[in-house]
Amino acid sequence: MTDRPKARFLDRTTPPHLLTLVLVAGLSALTMNIFLPSLPGMAEWFGVPYGLMQQSVALYLALSAALQIAIGPLSDRFGRRKVLIWSFALFLLATVGTLLAPNATVFLICRMAQAVVAAGMVLSRAIVRDMVSDAEAASMIGYVTMGMSVVPMIGPVIGGVLDEAFGWQANFALLLGLGAVVMALIWFDLGETATLRRVSLRDQARQYPVLLGSRRFWGYCLSAALASGCFFAYLGGAPYVGTEVFGLSSAHVGALFALTAVGYMGGNFIAGRWSVRVGMNRMVLIGTVITTAGLVVLLALTLAGLSGPVVFFGLTMAMGIGNGVCLPNANAGILSVRPEVAGTASGLGGAFIIGGGAGLASLAGVLLPPGSTETPLILLMLASSVGSVVAILAVIRRARDLGLSP
């Protein structure tokens, strides 16, 4: 019998297909928001106030940000594949726990444990950087996040339908099934892409001061955090603006939210198509300028008394396009500062982005007390977007000083 080459799905060293990375990252995004329509029903089921169940959102985001700091160094030390396998195995156990939880306390503990699936977001970017160069990484991340951008648009819709038909448990049952499918894809398709560094975790932790001491790393992180923070602020304040300022129903507000997601998909397509040709830093600048320009127009129309739901939500499409162009390239920039510790950089950068975004979302709520107009929210979003432009200009200036491509 002659030897035959192993099938691809049995090769533990072959880089994954792009679809695998999209699904790995997409499940991480879906886990964040699919159950949101079920929160009132879950509060009733467990016999607790709605505010307590709502804490599952904040606790999940907080732990997700913290875990991203640890996931990166672990993947640099032990490999992307091993960390993803263990993370998704723990995610499956935590999801079973949410379905079997006898009370709200156990549910919240298991819900927090589900945050380990954040490894999918962190390591999908790191794997891309392992496989290709900086500009190609920005292009590939653009395609990955273009697929991911569909999830926030359809996740709550799916969750609402499942909740109405079968109850809140159906959402977590779906996550369990999808988690098992993605786990199988990781096992059979995702080979190890990292060049493992046989150093202790203490030595790994020493990479943080190195990264934090880099002005380029800070520039990319701030640009990404402030660009995405603009969107998080929108998420925190737009429901109030839609329902209280413009008098729209929650269904109409939900439908108008899709405009930003559509814009984000378009921006991701532009990033995937043009990042290699235009260059990573220039694409970040273009994206932040698009967002800022759209918000300047929105503010001018609002101050002129010409605002309304069509103007407000329509112009946020520019923010979606701008972020879609900016964020894949900014993330690629974060990974490019020290490619040998791409996992560490991805985790640290992701923590900054989610943490900063969550802070701006909370600030948006503070700035919109009862009786407020949409103007404070627009000013907050514009200030955040201008900050992202300043951050990337500083990166470009630093790159020129170091003789790197701007």
- Does 395 have pLDDT greater than 80? yes
- Tell me which architecture the domain covering 203-406 has in CATH: Up-down Bundle (1.20)
Residues 6+ apart with CB under 8 A from 156: 33, 34, 36, 37, 254
If pLDDT is split at 50, 70 and 90, which confidence band does 289 have?
very high
Q: Please name which of 172, 176, 146 lies closest in space to residue 159, comparing C-alpha atoms.
A: 172
Taking the C-alpha atoms of residue 314 and residue 108, their distance in angstroms, rounded to an integer, is: 37
Task: Sort 254 into a burial class: Cβ within 10 Å, 0-12 / 13-18 / 19+.
Answer: middle
Q: Is the pTM of this model over 0.75?
A: no
User: For residue 406, is pLDDT > 60?
Assistant: no
Which of these ranges, 46-55, 159-168, 215-224, has the smallest mean pLDDT? 46-55
Mean pLDDT of 86-104: 95
The answer to whether residue 10 scores a pLDDT higher than 50 is no
Question: What single string gives the DSSP state of each residue in 119-167?
Answer: HHHHHHHHHHHHHS-HHHHHHHHHHHHHHHTHHHHHHHHHHHHHHHHH-
The confidence band for 299, taking pLDDT boundaries of 50, 70 and 90, is very high
**Tell me, what's the pLDDT at 210?**
74
Per-residue model confidence as pLDDT tens digits over 148-169? 656 766 676 777 778 878 888 9
Give me the helix-helix angle, 50-78 and 342-366, nearest 10°.
160
CATH 1.20.1250.20, the chain: domain bounds: 11-187, 203-406
Does the pLDDT value for residue 170 go beyond 60? yes
Contact indicator for 292, 235 with CB cutoff of 8 Å: no
Does residue 32 carry a pLDDT above 90?
A: no
Instruction: Judge contact between 94 and 372, C-beta under 8 A.
Output: no
Report residue 265 as tokens: 């998909």
- pLDDT value at position 12? 57
Q: Round the CA-based radius of gyration of the chain to a whole number and report it.
A: 21
Across all residues in the chain, what is the average pLDDT? Answer: 82
Digit-coded pLDDT (tens) for 248-275: 876 677 677 778 878 888 888 888 788 8
pLDDT 10s digits, 375-387: 999 999 999 999 9
Q: How far, rounded to the nearest angstrom, does the alpha carbon of residue 49 sit from its chain's CA centroid?
A: 29
| Overall average pLDDT of the 45-63 stretch | 77
Architecture of domain 11-187: Up-down Bundle (1.20)
Predicted confidence (pLDDT) at residue 39 exceeds the cutoff of 50: yes
C-alpha distances in Å from residue 275, one per residue of 128, 137, 344: 14, 9, 24
